[in-house]
Amino acid sequence: MNSQQIIARFSLSQTTERPATIRFNAEKRASAVMLPLLDVNDEAHLLLCKRPSYLLHHPGEICLPGGKYEEQDDTLMHTALRELNEELNIATHQVTVHGKLHQYATLTGFTIEPFVCVVSEGTTWQADPNEVAASFLMPLSYLSNQQNWQPLPFERNGKTITLQGLMTPHGLLWGATASIINNFIKQLALPV
């Protein structure tokens, strides 16, 4: 399936239903991420990043381009677009934003607004080494195959929490990023 077919499914699946586990909390810090789709050999891929290992928060983790809302951002979509440009040097005119997923609340006190875009054909990107150790593409067909995911139980505040994880060529994809990607895949109802 290519990115245009994915976007058609995404557009048809837009829903107003909110997940029961998400509640607005004014103390949560606002942030946004972009799910950038690109086609490789007529197959949709998602562009992911690996955070540098020297960062204080989430070092070496696999992530989507994105970050915290800043005062100069008019909206959270502007936050996601700004971060896409800062991290990967992909300009606003090189993408078409097609919508957003439900807001995601992290265990670390952030709310994340995920946006979905298609990167224009022929666009190249260059990772900023201060923000991104590596950037890479993962086929949506691989990400949508639940056999590639594994449960990852861990302890947090004395409770066992189980998240889903997937091994990539650059390390483990898990946590908020994995949950956001899984929410996107579920919304698309892709055949496995």
Structural domain boundaries enclosing 103: 3-14+24-188
Q: Does 12 score more than 70 pLDDT? A: no
Measured from the Cβ of residue 184, the count of other Cβ atoms closer than 10 Å reads 22
The answer to the question of residue 37 being in a domain is yes
What is the reported pLDDT for 109?
85
Q: State pLDDT tens for residues 23-47.
A: 434 446 899 999 999 999 999 999 9
How far CA 71 is from CA of 31, 68, 78, 154, in Å, comes to 12, 10, 11, 35
The answer to the question of residue 131 being in a domain is yes
Domain count, the chain: 1
The pLDDT of 63-74, averaged and rounded, is: 95
Q: Does 17 score more than 60 pLDDT? A: no
CATH at residue 110: 3.90.79.10
In angstroms, the CA 184 to CA 161 distance is 21
Q: Which pTM value belongs to this model?
A: 0.88
Q: State pLDDT tens for residues 97-112.
A: 999 999 999 888 889 9
The answer to the question of residue 19 being in a domain is no
